[in-house]
A and B are shown apart, each in its own frame.
Chain A
Amino acid sequence: MAEKLLAIHGLHAAVEGKEILKGLNIDINKGEVHVIMGPNGSGKSTLVNLIMGHPKYEITAGSIAFEGEDITALKTFERARKGIFLSFQNPEEIPGITVENLLRTAKNAITGETIKIMAFKKELKQAMETLKIDNTYAARHVNVGFSGGEKKRNEILQMMMLNPQLAMLDETDSGLDIDAVRIVSSGVKHFKNDQNAILIITHNTKILEQLDVDYVHILMNGKIIQTGDASLISQINENGFLHLGGDALDSGEVNALHG
């Protein structure tokens, strides 16, 4: 039987008093690839930020368990040390801190031991080669002056180096050209094994081509309204979200999305 990694039940969450998730359930086992699709503003980013423990979001009901342990009271860095990783939609720029320094600090923090410098450098070099990142980027400041695509590749580099149990990719493919998507996708494929799991938020199917997707969830208006297998992706691509019914977006929310 598959081992359960993440279990979310009846999750309600709000940001600045506005409810965004309205009773969400999701279970992810080791070895699985899950995809979440849904219109803008449906709560996809909120969900992954919430799992990561972003202080802006408040859980009003429900639970998030990781490997059977309730993690809702844990701080973000404690969740990361348990093996949760988020590839950000808009990665932050950190002036003055090099990519290599960040990765070494993070790896030491997550593994709880000081890694050997030569082994680390070798691993970093390999991961950068896989992602076709020029090795001079190791000495550059995190995301400063990076193009959109470079930032996303840097996220995947961190994922590969930190080797989490649950990797959440928040629109990692958006803003990438077709070649870059392919590179990122092969990095993800390289990372994937039967002991970890991936949760992918995407509007695009290119990133999924090299992966065996187990489940596709449609998130609308703060709830998962449909779960299916990979075939659901092509249905969405042909027909969009609205025909799926569920709670149609009310005009207020549409305005909020565009405002």
Chain B
Amino acid sequence: MDKKKTVVEDIDRGLYDIKNKDRYRYKASKGLTPQIVMDISKEKNDPEWMREFRLRSLDIYNKIPLPTWGPSLHELDMDDIVTYVRPDTEMKEKWQEVPDDIKDTFERLGIPQAERESLAGVGAQYDSEVVYHSVKEELVKQGVVYTDMESALREYEPMIKEYFMKLVTPNDHKFVALHGAVWSGGSFVYVPPGVQVEIPLQSYFRLNSPGAGQFEHTLIIVDKGAKLHFIEGCSAPKYNVTNLHAGCVELYIKEDASLRYSTIENWSRNMLNLNTKRALVEKNGSIEWVSGSFGSKISMLYPRSILKGEGARAEFNGVTFAAGGQVLDTGAAVIHAAPYTSSNINSRSISKGGGVAVYRGAVKVAANAHHCKSLVSCESLMLDDLSRSDTLPVIDIQNDEVDIGHEAKIGRISEEAIFYLMSRGISEQEAKAMIVRGFAEPIAKELPLEYAVEMNNLINIELEGTIG
């Protein structure tokens, strides 16, 4: 196999790059064999059906080839990836009890400071396991469940069995099959009918261990007429070995329910981020995705919304930033499977220093899905001549009574705009940063304030130039 390495531009990401000593109580051997999967399952005390599910998924993984489209994944060698690292701590419900170095990491990332200030609940995952989970008392009283997936598997087994990997099945593609085999951690949320969770819940995923994979599973069920805002944050420090993130997110939005799912992913440049996210929306329900994709060496991420019930709605707002050596292949997909459904996709991508930012999206309208509306708008901003942007939208419409719009704009950063801002005393670098922040503003304004600030900081870090 060709093992040619590409050069990845390196930046100082400050606090995101602080690594801790690799601390674990149990670490699986490198690579992927039935024995390793069995070991993980045993370590996690899975019920029998889950162990069988893992082994079946492994089987599927071994049969499915790598995707034949998108960025090349030739650098991924599963024999080098550690699929399971259990940190040497149990899950805590009191922040004080979390080990100091892990606690410090999350404190620096603004968690659980964020919890005190503006969240209804927080989960924090470190490597393969959730180390902290808490949820506000009043939500518990209303029947809201917010817990780690392992606890959910014990306490809500029938519900997990009914929903787990039914929306994203191991047959979908190679990396969800892998996920099915070695998944660990993640969050489970259940919002009972009619309950309006007005302040967001947040889960944060931190991958500290070098050469490891993170395969967290997030399962959210928003029952009839209920409402939730869920925030997901991800980061990892930099190592010289490849890390793999193949998480899976399954969102079930019932009749008249609504879910806003916001993500800021900020991976180090040694990360292959092959994440799968999907939402199933029933009658008059709505899903809103807000997504910021930063870092990673390769990302393939296309949240898919399946509008199953009449009048269901999907909205996607995403920004992607690709610097030198990075290939960020992202987008969104919407399946209009019922009449009167609507979708709105708004994607912004930024590339610099030879980075490649690709918008890959799909809108499919089924034959019975009459009177549906879809608007796709993707804009790309290239900061120099080295960078590349592509737009690959697929539109597949099976009936005539639809209203579909698509617009794509690819452009280079305007020298005149930079000059204009510089003529107001603003340095060249800050002028560029302002233009880029302005370009991303339609997405940033969809984020809660502190995350919009974080996103602007990430843009600044990306633009502050390279080390060495």
Tell me, yes or no, whether A binds B: yes
Q: How far is the CA of A129 from the CA of B415 in the complex (A)?
A: 32
Q: Which residue of B lies closest to A93 (CB)?
A: B417
Q: List the A side residues contacting B438 at CB < 8 Å.
A: 94-97, 141
Interface residues of B in 255-295 (CB under 8 A from A): none
Q: Within the complex, which residue of A95, A109, A158 is in contact with B430, where a contact is CB–CB below 8 Å?
A: A109
Q: List the B side residues contacting A53 at CB < 8 Å.
A: 422
Q: How far is the CA of A169 from the CA of B431 in the complex (A)?
A: 22
Q: List the A side residues contacting B420 at CB < 8 Å.
A: 88, 91-92, 94
Verify if B440 is at the interface (C-beta below 8 Å from A): yes
Q: In the complex, are the beta carbons of B430 and A76 less than 8 A apart?
A: no
Q: In the complex, are the beta carbons of A109 and B426 less than 8 A apart?
A: yes
Q: How far is the CA of A91 from the CA of B414 in the complex (A)?
A: 13
Verify if A146 is at the interface (C-beta below 8 Å from B): no
Residue among A75, A85, A97 having the largest count of chain B Cβ atoms under 10 Å: A97
Verify if B441 is at the interface (C-beta below 8 Å from A): yes
Q: In the complex, are the beta carbons of A80 and B439 less than 8 A apart?
A: no
In this complex, the interface size class of chain B, counting residues with CB under 8 Å from chain A, is 20 to 34
- Known A-B contacts A54-B419, A55-B415; the reply to A110 vs B437 at CB < 8 A is no
Q: List the A side residues contacting B439 at CB < 8 Å.
A: 95-96
Q: In the complex, are the beta carbons of B415 and A92 less than 8 A apart?
A: no
Q: How far is the CA of A93 from the CA of B421 in the complex (A)?
A: 11
Q: Which secondary structure dominates where chain A touches chain B? A: mixed
Mark each residue of chain B from 409 to 440: 1 if its CB lies under 8 Å from any CB of chain A, else 0. 00000111101111111111011001101111
Q: List the B side residues contacting A96 at CB < 8 Å.
A: 437-442
Q: How far is the CA of A88 from the CA of B423 in the complex (A)?
A: 10
Q: How far is the CA of A56 from the CA of B426 in the complex (A)?
A: 19
Q: How far is the CA of A88 from the CA of B417 in the complex (A)?
A: 11
Q: In the complex, are the beta carbons of B424 and A75 less than 8 A apart?
A: no
Q: In the complex, are the beta carbons of A158 and B441 less than 8 A apart?
A: no
Q: How far is the CA of A55 from the CA of B442 in the complex (A)?
A: 30
Q: In the complex, are the beta carbons of A109 and B437 less than 8 A apart?
A: no
Kindly provide the distance from the CB of A171 to the nearest chain B CB, expressed in whole angstroms.
Answer: 16
- Known A-B contacts A94-B438, A95-B439, A96-B440; the reply to A106 vs B424 at CB < 8 A is yes
Q: Within the complex, which residue of B426, B435, B440, B441 is in contact with A105, where a contact is CB–CB below 8 Å?
A: B426
Q: List the A side residues contacting B430 at CB < 8 Å.
A: 105, 109
Q: In the complex, are the beta carbons of A86 and B423 less than 8 A apart?
A: yes
Q: List the A side residues contacting B437 at CB < 8 Å.
A: 96-97
Q: List the A side residues contacting B440 at CB < 8 Å.
A: 96
Q: In the complex, are the beta carbons of A97 and B423 less than 8 A apart?
A: no
Kindly provide the distance from the CB of A86 to the nearest chain B CB, expressed in whole angstroms.
Answer: 5
Q: How far is the CA of A56 from the CA of B434 in the complex (A)?
A: 22
In this complex, the interface size class of chain A, counting residues with CB under 8 Å from chain B, is 20 to 34
Kindly provide the distance from the CB of A114 to the nearest chain B CB, expressed in whole angstroms.
Answer: 14
Residue among B421, B424, B431, B439 having the largest count of chain A Cβ atoms under 10 Å: B424
- Known A-B contacts A55-B419, A92-B414, A92-B416; the reply to A80 vs B434 at CB < 8 A is no
Interface residues of B in 446-467 (CB under 8 A from A): none
Q: In the complex, are the beta carbons of A162 and B425 less than 8 A apart?
A: yes
Q: How far is the CA of A84 from the CA of B76 in the complex (A)?
A: 55
Q: How far is the CA of A76 from the CA of B440 in the complex (A)?
A: 25
Q: In the complex, are the beta carbons of B423 and A109 less than 8 A apart?
A: no
Q: In the complex, are the beta carbons of B435 and A94 less than 8 A apart?
A: yes
Q: Within the complex, which residue of B414, B424, B441 is in contact with A80, where a contact is CB–CB below 8 Å?
A: B424
Verify if A102 is at the interface (C-beta below 8 Å from B): yes
Verify if A203 is at the interface (C-beta below 8 Å from B): no
- Known A-B contacts A54-B419, A95-B441, A96-B439; the reply to A162 vs B434 at CB < 8 A is no
Q: How far is the CA of A26 from the CA of B91 in the complex (A)?
A: 75
Q: How far is the CA of A56 from the CA of B421 in the complex (A)?
A: 16
Q: How far is the CA of A75 from the CA of B441 in the complex (A)?
A: 28
Q: How far is the CA of A59 from the CA of B441 in the complex (A)?
A: 38
- Known A-B contacts A95-B439, A96-B440; the reply to A85 vs B423 at CB < 8 A is yes
Q: How far is the CA of A56 from the CA of B437 in the complex (A)?
A: 25
- Known A-B contacts A94-B434, A96-B442; the reply to A158 vs B424 at CB < 8 A is yes
Q: How far is the CA of A102 from the CA of B437 in the complex (A)?
A: 12
Kindly provide the distance from the CB of A228 to the nearest chain B CB, expressed in whole angstroms.
Answer: 30
Interface residues of A in 181-203 (CB under 8 A from B): none
Q: In the complex, are the beta carbons of B416 and A77 less than 8 A apart?
A: no
Q: In the complex, are the beta carbons of A102 and B442 less than 8 A apart?
A: no
Kindly provide the distance from the CB of A196 to the nearest chain B CB, expressed in whole angstroms.
Answer: 16
Q: Which residue of B lies closest to A95 (CB)?
A: B438
Q: How far is the CA of A118 from the CA of B421 in the complex (A)?
A: 24
Q: List the B side residues contacting A106 at CB < 8 Å.
A: 421, 424-426
Q: How far is the CA of A75 from the CA of B434 in the complex (A)?
A: 18
Interface residues of A in 105-151 (CB under 8 A from B): 105-106, 109-110, 141
Q: List the A side residues contacting B428 at CB < 8 Å.
A: 75, 77
Q: How far is the CA of A53 from the CA of B421 in the complex (A)?
A: 12
Verify if A30 is at the interface (C-beta below 8 Å from B): no
Q: In the complex, are the beta carbons of A97 and B425 less than 8 A apart?
A: no
Q: How far is the CA of A76 from the CA of B423 in the complex (A)?
A: 6
Q: In the complex, are the beta carbons of A77 and B425 less than 8 A apart?
A: yes
Q: List the B side residues contacting A93 at CB < 8 Å.
A: 417
- Known A-B contacts A75-B428, A77-B425, A80-B422; the reply to A105 vs B417 at CB < 8 A is no
Q: In the complex, are the beta carbons of B422 and A75 less than 8 A apart?
A: yes
- Known A-B contacts A75-B428, A95-B439; the reply to A105 vs B422 at CB < 8 A is no
Q: Within the complex, which residue of B416, B421, B427 is in contact with A102, where a contact is CB–CB below 8 Å?
A: B421
Q: How far is the CA of A79 from the CA of B424 in the complex (A)?
A: 9
Q: How far is the CA of A19 from the CA of B441 in the complex (A)?
A: 41
Q: How far is the CA of A91 from the CA of B420 in the complex (A)?
A: 8
Kindly provide the distance from the CB of A150 to the nearest chain B CB, expressed in whole angstroms.
Answer: 16
Going nearest first, the 4 A-B pairs with the smallest beta carbon separation are A96-B438, A96-B441, A106-B424, A76-B422
Additional A-B contact list (7), CB under 8 Å, known A88-B420, A92-B414: A54-B419, A56-B415, A96-B439, A97-B435, A109-B427, A109-B430, A158-B424
23 sampled A-B residue pairs with Cβ under 8 A: A55-B415, A75-B422, A75-B428, A76-B419, A76-B423, A77-B423, A77-B425, A77-B427, A80-B425, A81-B425, A92-B417, A93-B417, A94-B420, A97-B435, A97-B437, A97-B441, A105-B426, A105-B434, A109-B424, A109-B430, A110-B424, A141-B438, A158-B424
